[in-house]
Structure 1
Amino acid sequence: MPEPTSAAPQCALVTGASRGIGREVALGLAAAGFVVGVTGRDARSLDGLVEEITAAGGWAVATAFDVTDAGAVAAGVRALEQELGGFDLLVQSHGRIESDEVPPWEADLGQVRAVLEANVLGAFHVVRAVVPGMVARGSGRVVDLSSGAASSDSGIHAAYGASKAALFRLGGAIAAAGAAHGVRAFELSPGVVRTAMATGMGQHAERTEWTDPADVVAMVLAIAAGELDGWSGRYLRVGVDTPGSLLAAEATRSPRGRRLVVEPYGEDDPLHP
């Protein structure tokens, strides 16, 4: 795995680290030499993760909070920063999906609200707590765990799709506003990793091939090392992209490539760039 680029350990914050992809990313970052702050709602699972990282020779600190609680997020991030220092990397891996696979007009509003509060408002809460420190220091990278649902339509899981599209737009805003301050943001779809969320979705019921979490970690490490800074504000997908393929494509990429945009209907469309 790539090593952090600076002599001093870089510091990363991983949300949703108590299980699934977030846990794998935290382990991978720690193995690569990062100091890692891990958050989630399950304090016991986070403590187990810290013990595992520490036993392997790494350094991690856990703070449990619910991302939908802005006050708890601010206090938790502040406590982690006091112990670990400012964060060079933020990986937003928290998220939820509605359990009902129904069209939008049949969606349970309680589930819709819960998904939007966690995936959108929760992301804003974390960004407001972490990114000002990056701006003040003049550098930082934000990685949002995205999904194919952010860029394509589906007849089900409309709340989840809407939340991931909103997260994409938030990431783009961070990339645009943060560029002058050395802050970059990336929308990283992890492919289909075998997690509790993925296996609970009907569309994956018969799936036999899954994305290796190590490939997700490798992409996060490449982003953290600054290798993919030219892709800030854009959508990357593990399993389709690799750090090498993205580097090779950067020179020929279109200005609108991998951005969340409205495509013109043709050359006569007044929206045509």
Structure 2
Amino acid sequence: MTPPSRVALVTGASSGIGRGLAEALGAAGLAVGLLGRDGQRLQDALAAVRGTGARAAAAPADVVDLAGLQRAVEQLQAELGPVDLLVSAAGIIEASEVPVWEADPEEWRRVVEVDLVGAFHAVRAVVPGMVERGGGRVIHLDSGSGIRDSAVYSAYGAAKAGLFRLGGSLHAAGAAHGVTVLELAPGVVRTPMTMAMAAHEQRRQRDEWTSQAEVDALAVAFARGELDAFSGRMVRAGVDTPASLSARAAAGFDDDDRTLRLRPWGADDPLR
């Protein structure tokens, strides 16, 4: 078994869920490397993580820029030690709710580049070291938007579906090297991104959100090695808890449970 993680690297750590996860992992005793594009907000987040008593360091980087990301990862590992937990939390969404044929091409591409290509870049920059050292963990901040059709936010949905498949590929290839990957869907946490989305207008009026603490609890449990059985699968904050997932793992589950699959029409479907 891969031992509990000791050094985390969090992308998108300057605000929102990423910052919350960085603080929670620091409070749980991990050293934390923070990556983000906004230098001032990144320093604010760094101060908050250090306020938990954790060793922490920060480096500005855009996940879309692979060379810059690799340099930032090298800098953080030189300060904190080898990363054995990668948290890909960097993400954006389209500004407007429009059908795919009305989507702005540049914005569409940018969403996919940040949410999907950026996560691949993070894997490329961090996971080879995990493989060399014999293990590690990866958390993808995924979304239910990647597993169901929607008339709007087509770039975000496509990116999150691709992220799930990226995680599946990492699980399939990494299992032999002690690398596990969790697709963590945070539900709808109150963040600057969700507060700006028209889709959540009624939620804002009711003030009904998934709590950051529920997301944090799943991430910390995974970092400790308690949820490795869910590698390649999706868990959802606000629905799942570390205790409920541990019970489910003990009871057993099918190969397709909580994975991204094509559902056959029956036993005679040739695509089974």
After TM superposition, the score normalised by the length of structure 2 is 0.95
What is the DSSP-based 3-state SS (H/G/I as helix, E as strand, rest coil) of the residue aligned with 1:36?
A: strand
Task: Note closer, same or farther for the CA distance 1:90–1:193 as it changes in structure 2 (3 Å cut).
Answer: same
- Confirm or deny that 1:141 pairs with 2:137: yes
* Structure 1 portions without partners, runs of 5+: 1-5
CA contact (8 A) 2:234 2:258 kept: yes
Find the partner of 1:108 among 104, 109, 120. 104
Q: 1:40 maps to which residue?
A: 36
Q: What is the CA-CA distance between 1:240 and the residue it aligns to? A: 1.0
Bigger drift between 190-199 and 51-60 goes to 51-60
Q: 1:225 maps to which residue?
A: 224
- Confirm or deny that 1:264 pairs with 2:264: yes
Q: 1:82 maps to which residue?
A: 78
* Structure 2 portions without partners, runs of 5+: none
What is the DSSP-based 3-state SS (H/G/I as helix, E as strand, rest coil) of the residue aligned with 1:116?
A: helix
CA contact (8 A) 2:186 2:237 kept: yes
Q: 2:148 maps to which residue?
A: 152
Distance 1:145 1:218 in 2: 14
Q: What is the CA-CA distance between 1:55 and the residue it aligns to? A: 3.3
Q: 1:51 maps to which residue?
A: 47
What is the DSSP-based 3-state SS (H/G/I as helix, E as strand, rest coil) of the residue aligned with 1:170?
A: helix
Query: Number of residue pairs matched?
Result: 268
Q: What is the CA-CA distance between 1:7 and the residue it aligns to? A: 10
CA contact (8 A) 1:150 1:165 kept: yes
Distance 1:92 1:55 in 2: 22
Deviations 1:12-33 (A, max 9, x none): 0000000000000000111111
CA contact (8 A) 2:3 2:225 kept: no
Distance 2:3 2:147 in 1: 38
Distance 2:127 2:5 in 1: 19
Q: 2:56 maps to which residue?
A: 60
Task: Note closer, same or farther for the CA distance 1:253–1:42 as it changes in structure 2 (3 Å cut).
Answer: same
Distance 2:228 2:7 in 1: 18
Bigger drift between 136-145 and 43-52 goes to 43-52
CA contact (8 A) 2:35 2:61 kept: yes
Distance 1:23 1:259 in 2: 27
What is the DSSP-based 3-state SS (H/G/I as helix, E as strand, rest coil) of the residue aligned with 1:215?
A: helix
Q: 1:3 maps to which residue?
A: none
Bigger drift between 200-209 and 131-140 goes to 200-209
Q: Which amino acid aligns with 2:262?
A: V
CA contact (8 A) 2:4 2:223 kept: no
Distance 2:217 2:51 in 1: 22
Q: What is the CA-CA distance between 1:8 and the residue it aligns to? A: 9.5
After TM superposition, the score normalised by the length of structure 1 is 0.95
CA contact (8 A) 1:9 1:33 kept: no
